[in-house]
Amino acid sequence: MGSARWNPTDWSAYAASTTGKSTDAVFAARGIEQELNPLGVTVRESRDSELNPAATAIIVGLDVTGSMGMIADALARKGLGTMVEEILARKPVSDPHILCMGIGDVLCDRAPLQVTQFEADIRIARQLEKLWLEKGGGGNSCESYTLPWYFAAMHTAIDCFEKRGKKGYLFTVGDEEPPADLPGAAITRFLGDPPQRDLSSRELLTMVSRMYHVFHIIVEEGAHARSQPREVRDRWTDLLGQRVIGLSDHTKLAEVIVSAIEVNEGHDRDKVVKSWSQSTGLVVQRAVGGLVASRSAPAGVVRF
């Protein structure tokens, strides 16, 4: 997928259509949409095309439990357009192909994973608004943020890696800690893969890091992150190191994602911060202040 090209006019018309609507009106699904159901999906593809000759796969996984629907809402109304248009303008990577995910809890929710296609045009916004904001989750202080890692590692095919040896990007976004492991039974139940043993988060990180630069964005406005800030940060830092990003203003998610990609691709961090307006720059500075550029490595070499 992703054969078309982004058109700012299409985005402006789409964004205008969300004006005045409630979150429940924008995200009208009351159950998982079949086209977003990962059960039985063989592969989601990011392929080069005439309009996108050097596609870069970018996955954004959004926590849709509890009150975290505010993240999807902000992305649908404004953030998605900002993210794509700034990547196209700043060119930290070429020809962005965006895939969005909805993330829940495999132990509690009916739809702990929802997956769009990789798209390069307004179709990604149309698919994003089909996410079911289940508003579930459990009382276990974590959501299934590593289920997208498994899906990306086992069920995506991306030309940026296969043809050019360049990793894609995977961002998960939420306010809780990472789980210790992903139950094998949940992989079978929600993805349809053959039964296997439970996989630890570190194993899953190794798997997905072969093809993707992996980041987690902590939504600091979230209830759990506010009540347990140190625990959330420490658990994620133990797993991902410097690629844990604090987001102090959820409406600036897109700018933070773009900035993280820029810094990871070697752009000067201070210049990246100063490229935004003053208020946005403060959020970005807090978010990416600890990031350093990724060192190049041969395809297939895992780097943390």
Q: Model confidence over 107-119: pLDDT tens digits?
A: 999 999 999 999 9
Structure tokens at 145: 């943020």
Tell me the pLDDT tens digit for each residue of 199-214: 999 999 999 999 999 9
| Averaged pLDDT for residues 216-220 | 98
Residues in the chain: 304
Does the pTM surpass 0.85? The reply is: yes
| Averaged pLDDT for residues 122-133 | 97
Residue 301 has pLDDT above 70, yes or no: no
Q: How confident is the model at residue 40 (pLDDT cuts 50, 70, 90)?
A: very high
| Averaged pLDDT for residues 267-287 | 98
Q: What is the pLDDT of residue 15?
A: 96
286: helix, coil or strand?
helix
87 closest CA partner among 250, 283, 249, 256: 256
Rounded CA gap, 239 and 209, in Å?
12
Q: What is the pLDDT of residue 302?
A: 37
Q: What is the pLDDT of residue 295?
A: 67
Residue 151 has pLDDT above 50, yes or no: yes
Instruction: Report the mean per-residue pLDDT for the chain.
Output: 95
218 closest CA partner among 201, 200, 255, 243: 243
Tell me the pLDDT tens digit for each residue of 159-179: 999 999 999 999 999 999 999
Evaluated on CA atoms 216, 218, 222, 225, the torsion sign reads positive
35 closest CA partner among 150, 171, 133, 131: 131
| Averaged pLDDT for residues 56-62 | 98
Structure tokens at 7: 């058109």
Q: How confident is the model at residue 298 (pLDDT cuts 50, 70, 90)?
A: very low
Residue 247 has pLDDT above 60, yes or no: yes
CATH architecture classification, 8-243 = 3-Layer(aba) Sandwich (3.40)
